[in-house]
Structure 1
Amino acid sequence: MTIRSRPDRCPGVLRPWIADDGALVRLRLVGGVLPTDALRSLLVIAAAHADGTVQLTTRGNLQLRGIEHAGGCVAPSLVDALEAAGLVPSRSHELVRNVMVSPMTGRLGGRADLRRTARELDRLLCADPAFSALAGRFLFVLDDGRGDVAARPLDLGLVAVDAHTAQIRAGSGHWGPLVTLDHAAEALLDHARAFLARRGEGGTASWHVDELPGGGAELLEHPPARDPRTHVSALPPPYGIMTQDDGRGAHHLAVPDGLLTPELAATVLERAGAEVIVTPWRSIVVPDLEIP
């Protein structure tokens, strides 16, 4: 069992990481969804305040680095610009909005559309002051039943077993109840509350569910057997054009070394509609394209 001696230091906008080349800030995207207007604004911000590039992380989030700082803080003008772009929707909860979702959910394959579940999870997470105490590395993983993110290390999550139902997960080894997707967000946050009640206090408090004495079993009153439909696994989709279930296209683009340069971003924005999807494989999907 891991014994902590300090709180986590996972970076955010209001708590940057100070590196040799300047401050690094992390921006959390729920399910990797990034509105194109926000991407356009972010490129301007990166040119003005950072090294000009946008980094993609393996959790489907974004980072800026090479930022000037003073006293461990970045300039208020940078924070204001990121907020204006919609990239810091909650100052109190910006560190804990770690929600990974199957990137193509609701558009191509999978058993269920988890987009609404992810949005509701984020809304409820930010609405409760208690959840601001979660560690910045605490991670929710929502797999739509295809298995593309099911193997990711997680704290809490679910795997869809049909179009309306999912099984809850607690830590790396425990499975919870079957719940309807209409109630899945509430169920996940009920387990998050149970984690906070058991994780300890101060610098020795656990960061992750796996660090609890029972590895998460104690969050489940009557843990059921794992549903056989959760035994799923899938590779990331190939790069190139895919045909969505609605007949439109989605372009999966490689982002070498996870560095979204202004030139590559221009290519993305040239085709993008309302939003793009940042994947946990450090790539980008441009969805909802009209195919000639």
Structure 2
Amino acid sequence: MSSALPSTSSQATAVSRDRGDACPGTLRLHAADDGALARVRIPGGVLNVVQAEALADAARRLGDGDLHLTSRGNVQLRGLRDGCGGELAGLLDAAGLLPSPGHERVRNVVASPLSGLDGRGLRDVRPWLSALDAALCASDRARELSGRFLFALDDGRGDVTGLGADVTVRAAGDDALVSLGSVDDAWRVASGEAPRVALLAAEAFLDVARESGARVWRVDELAVPARVLTRVLDRRLSEAGVAHVKERTHTTRTDGPPPGLVGDALCVHVPLGRLTAPQWRELTRVAAPTRDSEVRLTPWRGVVVPVRGLGTTDTADALGRLSAAGLVTDAASPWPRVGACIGRPGCGKSHADVRADAADGLSAAGRSPLPLYWSGCERRCGHPRGERIDLVAVPEGGYRLTAGAPGGPTRTTVLTDPSHLATALAAITP
């Protein structure tokens, strides 16, 4: 039931949840039509080679063999067999992917994936990432956060600022700007205080939710004026002895890394976020001069492989191998502009095999002025933020196409035959 109280911003949606948070994790599996599903939180998307191999081993031994990337840079394992929860937890724990069982669903942190690799950010956010994850896992209070609550660490370039996080930390010279949801105010603090302030901001959200009696999972679901939230965080920062200045923010937002060589990194896009075992194996081979080498999963269903020190010939060879494995290495490819939920047969609520239809419509999507997202039903699972064309499967067959920016005018048409996608797109786009 929605409350009549004003929300934290004009973009917020006041809600009250009438059930507990059922978001899956690695210890709480979700039953899907293709078997059990586990969602493995990977803060910042950062995996060392040992952890990457452990995930692939778990998918091969227990699931469908593939790794499914999410819009938060996490990994889902699908098609898991019955009764494998204990074995899965053991595999992930041994690889260091389950540092705190009580916090495994709240370790939702996205971070600028090229931070420290291309010279564009104002600072490397990796120290923030390590400190925030450690603070989360050490906080009893943080266990109250829902599995949907999201932190974003932006190195100043503006890439993860636009992902709708509940707490966003953005580099600003020697300082950091910390903001809550879509609240216009931000708190300028010393850079070294940023991880602690991020956790205090999350605790301020929990305080306000408790005091208001609301059962909500995200900051923008709070049915309270923004000043209530800012006042609580001001008080928490003062009590913690954190010097801070409140200011209005106007941030420039950019996209995620394009496919190809960017600075000291190879960037690839994963079509529809599904990594096969051979593709994952090729990625880890490229990344593995040492066992401490890493890959970084992005919130745009891509992978960044740091290759500092790799020669021009070796870099070209690596890109060729990744492309041959079916990963997107060409920035001109239409694939980064196409997304889809799992659809049939994995989801019983889906009205269509949206991934097959998305692949069949790739050529038409490449000519569209807006990105496309295919959904099997009205829930639109995994739907990204921003302006795009929505294709939602309907029970009677076909799709409803909607184009337009959130909150703005929309144009709608019906697609009865996916092979006529180009014609439908022409009808609703300028």
TM-score (norm 2): 0.62
The one of 141, 156, 162 equivalent to 1:151 is 162
Matched, 1:103 2:113: yes
Matched, 1:178 2:175: no
The CA distance in 2 between the partners of 1:212 and 1:235, in whole Å, is 28
SS at match of 2:103: coil
The one of 266, 271, 284 equivalent to 2:286 is 271
Give the C-alpha shift of residue 217 in structure 1. 3.8
Give the C-alpha shift of residue 206 in structure 1. 1.2
Give the C-alpha shift of residue 69 in structure 1. 2.5
Give the C-alpha shift of residue 79 in structure 1. 1.2
Gaps in structure 1 of 5+ consecutive residues: 244-248
Give the C-alpha shift of residue 18 in structure 1. 0.7
Aligned position for 1:117: 128
The CA distance in 2 between the partners of 1:83 and 1:40, in whole Å, is 13
SS at match of 2:98: coil
SS at match of 2:52: helix
The CA distance in 1 between the partners of 2:143 and 2:228, in whole Å, is 22
The amino acid across from 2:309 in the alignment is E
The one of 125, 129, 134 equivalent to 2:145 is 134
Give the C-alpha shift of residue 34 in structure 1. 0.9
The one of 178, 187, 198 equivalent to 1:188 is 198
Greater RCO (Cα-Cα under 8 Å, separation 6 or more): 1
Give the C-alpha shift of residue 204 in structure 1. 5.4
The CA distance in 1 between the partners of 2:155 and 2:226, in whole Å, is 22
The amino acid across from 2:127 in the alignment is R
Kindly tell me: are residues 36 and 11 of structure 1, through their superposed partners in 2, closer, same or farther at Cα, counting changes over 3 Å? Answer: same
Matched, 1:280 2:299: yes
The amino acid across from 2:60 in the alignment is A
The one of 85, 96, 100 equivalent to 1:86 is 96
* Greater displacement, 184-193 / 217-226: 217-226
Give the C-alpha shift of residue 5 in structure 1. 0.6
8 Å Cα contact 1:6-1:204 kept in structure 2? no
* Greater displacement, 122-131 / 165-174: 165-174
The CA distance in 2 between the partners of 1:215 and 1:125, in whole Å, is 27
Aligned position for 1:246: none
Matched, 1:237 2:257: yes
Aligned position for 1:47: 60
Aligned position for 2:328: none
SS at match of 1:151: helix
Matched, 1:209 2:230: no
Which has the greater radius of gyration? 2
The CA distance in 1 between the partners of 2:225 and 2:50, in whole Å, is 41
* Greater displacement, 119-128 / 173-182: 173-182
Aligned position for 1:226: 248
Give the C-alpha shift of residue 200 in structure 1. 3.0
SS at match of 1:289: coil
* Greater displacement, 217-226 / 11-20: 217-226
The CA distance in 1 between the partners of 2:286 and 2:50, in whole Å, is 13
SS at match of 1:60: coil
Give the C-alpha shift of residue 288 in structure 1. 3.1
Give the C-alpha shift of residue 227 in structure 1. 4.1
Kindly tell me: are residues 217 and 189 of structure 1, through their superposed partners in 2, closer, same or farther at Cα, counting changes over 3 Å? Answer: farther
SS at match of 2:246: coil
The CA distance in 1 between the partners of 2:124 and 2:261, in whole Å, is 21
8 Å Cα contact 2:146-2:217 kept in structure 1? yes
The amino acid across from 1:166 in the alignment is A
8 Å Cα contact 2:114-2:257 kept in structure 1? no
> Where has structure 1 moved over 2 Å in runs of 4 or more?
173-176, 213-219, 221-225, 288-291
The CA distance in 1 between the partners of 2:175 and 2:127, in whole Å, is 13
Aligned position for 2:37: 24
SS at match of 2:303: strand
The CA distance in 1 between the partners of 2:161 and 2:71, in whole Å, is 14
The count of corresponding residues between Structure 1 and Structure 2 is 280
Gaps in structure 2 of 5+ consecutive residues: 1-13, 235-244, 312-430
* Greater displacement, 276-285 / 219-228: 219-228
Give the C-alpha shift of residue 253 in structure 1. 1.2
8 Å Cα contact 1:209-1:215 kept in structure 2? no
The amino acid across from 2:21 in the alignment is D
Which residues of 2 match residues 245-264 of structure 1 at below 5 A? 249-264=264-279
Give the C-alpha shift of residue 215 in structure 1. 5.8
